[in-house]
């Protein structure tokens, strides 16, 4: 009977133990399921850890819980709970400061200490030292530790292996949550960084104004780093004697400020290493001693100096400053600023290359335009030379034939001619020779106008020039019985006397030849004059009372080697072409006003003297 009773008691105990184990497993399963839901509900790491620790306390009794994350070879408290403290004070521990944690990280398995008073390794500098029983489990991501989860209880009840496995299971979930949150933070940071870089790239490509590009970059940096409220760009001179601030945001009046590089250890270090330098106390750090005064004037408390590297050399620096309140620059902030500085260096070099290419293109375009203009001038010159050769051959052919004719006549019939007839032929020969001389003189004048690139101009004595022109044409004036009216005083213009005299002679001689009405028995009546200065130019003119010109004749009048009235009058096609060339060389214009039956007015303009 007793044996039967003992067996029943043992069976009951086994059932109770199995029930307790199943209940614990169910609670653990429920807790882990809650943890999974928590992890999928938010990526806020602080909120995640707080909710997971609440579930852990439901699964395993504990007086103290800490989650330490491993970064830069030291543990930092990320979350915690202590039954005797309202808030767990923040702390850090070197990675190898505690033998228990070192062993646990090495085995990558949970470490159980049922009774801390009996363990020689027990040594904590935090409140965990008061725990009687202790469990620590690694937070593993891809089999690499990123932190530890530790729990402790201060009563005499020891933790069991089952408790250690529960803590290890929670450690796995915490590791997953931390990893997800870190990935999210990194992705968000990367997205913000890419967004910032993209914005800066757009700013760089949208403007070729280097000052605008640099100022915009400084503004973007200040907007990206709220703790830093000032940014500036400084470029070095070629001799590396000083750094000049060329852009900043916001404007603190630093643009144009030159900072000596002599004994400036901070900048020298940046130049030598081509690496960024973060200084938490810019007004007292010995590296910044030569510019303490400038830092205090601007109000810089902390500064991040980023080298701007162009073609392997540091051309300047990008500075990110914290004013009034000191700031410790994180590795991610330094990395982002360094990326921006690198992009800025490329952008600056691209801007310089673009400017160089634009200058080369402009120079090439100028050369191409000069070649095009030269080609046009050459083509025009060739065409002009063709017409010139034709005109010369035509205009010299007739007088030359006349010379030969009259000379031959004298040679063959001289003895049979009366003295009067001989004298008549000699006069014809002389007249023809003068005509050929006139043609040759005009050809020489045309050649001189074409050849001379720069003309030495002076104020003109127009009264003397007109008198000299009329004197040279006196025989023709007397021959055609012309009447010429002109003023005694003239305004002062700027020009070249010999050329202007030829212009007057050409206009007056044409008017003498074509400006009369011989069929009506009316000799030429000419009026010479000028108009009041207008827009810095004076217009001079010759008016006749001839038959006038048709519009078609007017359009061809100043074309090279064109001769009007070829049937009715003598002449050759050089005169008005020379007039146009002369006046254009003297920065003036030529023209004609005419109406059939109402005479013509030929004019030219010259720059007015300041005294006119």
Question: What CATH architecture is 209-329?
Answer: 2-Layer Sandwich (3.30)
Q: Which residue would you say has higher pLDDT here, 144 or 6?
A: 144
The Cα 72–Cα 185 span in angstroms is 18
Sheet containing 537-543: which strands, arranged edge to edge?
483-485, 525-530, 537-543, 600-607, 590-594
Q: Which residues contact 44 (CB under 8 A, 6 or more apart)?
A: 181
- Quick check: 306 and 282 in contact, CB under 8 A? no
Kind of pairing, strands 483-485 and 525-530? Answer: parallel
pTM metric for this prediction: 0.44
Q: Which residue would you say has higher pLDDT here, 510 or 189?
A: 510
pLDDT of residue 384: 59
pLDDT of residue 396: 65
- 171 pLDDT higher than 50: yes
- 320 pLDDT higher than 60: yes
pLDDT of residue 114: 92
Q: Which residue would you say has higher pLDDT here, 208 or 85?
A: 85
Q: Which fold, 23-185? A: Beta-Lactamase (3.30.450)
pLDDT of residue 84: 85
pLDDT of residue 571: 39
Q: Which residue would you say has higher pLDDT here, 440 or 134?
A: 134
Domain ranges of the chain: 23-185, 209-329, 454-607
Q: Which residue would you say has higher pLDDT here, 412 or 39?
A: 412
Q: Return phi, psi of residue 165, to 5°.
A: -65, -35
8-65 tens-digit pLDDT: 666 666 665 565 555 555 655 655 566 556 655 566 778 878 888 888 888 889 999 9
Same CATH topology for 23-185 and 209-329: the answer is yes
| CATH class belonging to 454-607 | alpha beta
**DSSP alpha helix (H) spans, 414-515:** 419-451, 462-472, 474-480, 497-514
Q: How confident is the model at residue 251 (pLDDT cuts 50, 70, 90)?
A: confident
């Amino acid at each position: 009977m007793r044996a039967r009773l003992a067996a029943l008691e043992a069976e009951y105990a086994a059932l109770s133990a199995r029930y307790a184990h199943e209940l614990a497993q169910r609670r653990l399963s429920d807790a882990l399921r809650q943890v999974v839901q928590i992890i999928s509900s938010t990526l806020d790491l602080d909120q995640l850890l707080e909710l997971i620790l609440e579930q852990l306390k439901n699964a395993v009794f504990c007086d103290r819980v800490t989650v330490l994350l491993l970064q830069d070879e030291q543990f930092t408290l990320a979350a915690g709970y202590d039954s005797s403290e309202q808030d767990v004070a923040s702390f850090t521990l070197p990675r190898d400061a505690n033998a228990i944690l070192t062993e646990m990280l090495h085995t990558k398995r949970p470490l159980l200490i049922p009774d801390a008073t009996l363990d020689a390794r027990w040594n904590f500098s935090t409140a965990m030292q008061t725990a009687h029983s202790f469990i620590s489990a690694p937070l593993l991501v891809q089999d690499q530790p990123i932190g530890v989860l530790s729990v402790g209880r201060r009563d005499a009840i020891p933790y069991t292996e089952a408790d250690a496995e529960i803590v290890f299971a929670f450690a796995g979930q915490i590791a997953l949550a931390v990893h997800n949150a870190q990935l999210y933070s990194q992705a968000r940071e990367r997205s913000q960084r890419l967004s910032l870089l993209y914005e800066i790239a757009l700013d760089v490509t949208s403007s070729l104004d280097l000052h605008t590009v640099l100022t915009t970059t400084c503004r973007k940096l200040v907007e990206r780093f709220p703790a830093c409220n000032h940014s500036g760009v400084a470029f070095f001179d070629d001799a590396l004697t000083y750094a000049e601030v060329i852009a900043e945001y916001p404007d603190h009046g630093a643009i144009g400020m030159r900072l000596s590089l002599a004994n400036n250890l901070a900048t020298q270090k940046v130049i030598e290493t081509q690496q960024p330098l973060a200084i938490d106390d810019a007004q007292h750090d010995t590296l910044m001693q030569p510019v303490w005064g400038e830092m205090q004037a601007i109000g810089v408390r902390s500064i991040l100096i980023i080298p701007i590297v162009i073609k392997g050399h540091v051309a300047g620096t990008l500075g990110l400053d914290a004013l009034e309140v000191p700031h410790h620059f994180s590795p991610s902030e330094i990395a982002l600023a360094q990326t921006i500085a690198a992009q800025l260096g490329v952008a600056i070099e691209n801007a310089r290359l673009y400017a160089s290419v634009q200058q080369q293109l402009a120079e090439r375009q100028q050369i191409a335009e000069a070649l095009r203009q030269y080609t046009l001038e050459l083509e025009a010159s060739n065409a002009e030379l063709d017409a010139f050769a034709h005109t010369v051959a035509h205009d010299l052919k007739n007088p030359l034939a006349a010379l030969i004719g009259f000379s031959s006549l004298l040679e063959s019939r001289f003895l049979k001619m009366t003295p009067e007839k001989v004298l008549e032929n000699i006069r014809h020969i002389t007249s023809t020779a003068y005509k050929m001389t006139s043609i040759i003189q005009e050809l020489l004048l045309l050649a001189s106008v074409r050849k001379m690139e720069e003309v030495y101009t002076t104020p003109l004595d127009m009264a003397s020039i007109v008198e000299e022109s009329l004197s040279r044409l006196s025989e023709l004036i007397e021959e055609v019985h012309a009447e010429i009216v002109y003023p005694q005083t003239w305004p002062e213009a700027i020009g070249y006397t010999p050329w202007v005299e030829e212009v007057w002679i050409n206009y007056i001689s044409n008017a003498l030849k074509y400006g009369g009405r011989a069929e009506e028995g009316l000799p030429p009546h000419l009026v010479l004059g000028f108009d009041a200065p207008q827009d810095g130019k004076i217009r001079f003119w010759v008016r006749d009372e001839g038959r006038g010109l048709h519009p078609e004749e007017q359009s061809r009048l100043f074309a090279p080697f064109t001769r009007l009235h070829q049937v009715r009058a003598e002449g050759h096609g050089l005169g008005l072409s020379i007039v146009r060339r002369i006046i254009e060389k003297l920065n003036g214009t030529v023209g004609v006003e005419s109406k059939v039956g109402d005479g013509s007015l030929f004019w030219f303009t010259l720059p007015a003297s300041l005294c006119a």
